[in-house]
Structure 1
Amino acid sequence: MPNPKALFCPTCRKVVLATDPDFPFCSDRCRILDLGKWASGGYVISSPVHDPDLLDELEGLQHRGQSSTNEDGDR
C-alpha cells in the first residue's frame, strides 16, 4: 500500500495527509479562514483574461448592468 500524499495546509503550513477529512486544510478553522480571505478580496487572480470571446461577454454584461440604473442610481 503506497503512502498517502501529503501537502502543507495553505493557511497554517502544517503537514496534511490526503486521507485527512479536511484535506487540503488541516482543520475546518483553516478552511474558513481561507474562504474569508477569498470573500474579503485578500486573494485575487492576477493573470488577465486573454480570451477575446470571454472579454466581449464580460464587457456586454458590464454595459447592461450600467444601463439598468438611471442617473440617481435607481432601477
Structure 2
Amino acid sequence: MTLEVSCPTCQKQVKWEKQSEFRPFCSKRCQLIDLGEWAEEGHKISQPVQSHSPMSEEMLDALEDEFLMNNKFFVEPE
C-alpha cells in the first residue's frame, strides 16, 4: 500500500513514491507557491525564548566562534 499525503498548498492527495517528483506537493505550481510564502516570510519557524538571562559579550563571542567553526562557508577565504 502506498502512503498518500495532502499537498501542503492545495490539500490534493499525493502518492508518496519515487515517481512523485514534487512530493509532498502535487505540482511544481504548488511547490513554487509554498517557496514564495517562505520568501515573503509568510511561513516562519519560531522558537520560544529559552531563558530570560542576558547574554554577556563572552557568551556571544563563544556562540559566534562555534557557529563559524561548524559553518565554514561563512568564513572568508584566506
TM-score (norm 2): 0.58
Segments of structure 2 that go 5 or more residues without pairing to the other structure are: 65-78
Paired residue type of 2:8: P
In the aligned structure 1, how far is the partner of 2:40 from the partner of 2:3? 31
Runs of 4+ residues over 6 Å off in structure 1: none
Paired residue type of 1:29: R
Q: Which residue of 1 aligns with 2:37?
A: 37
- Are 1:17 and 2:45 counterparts? no
Which string of whole-angstrom CA distances, capped at 9 and with x for unpartnered residues, describes residues 18-51 of structure 1? Answer: 1222110000000000000001000111223549
TM-score (norm 1): 0.60
Percent identical across equivalent pairs? 41
Segments of structure 1 that go 5 or more residues without pairing to the other structure are: 59-75
Q: CA RMSD in A?
A: 2.5
Q: Which residue of 2 aligns with 1:28?
A: 28
Paired residue type of 1:18: W
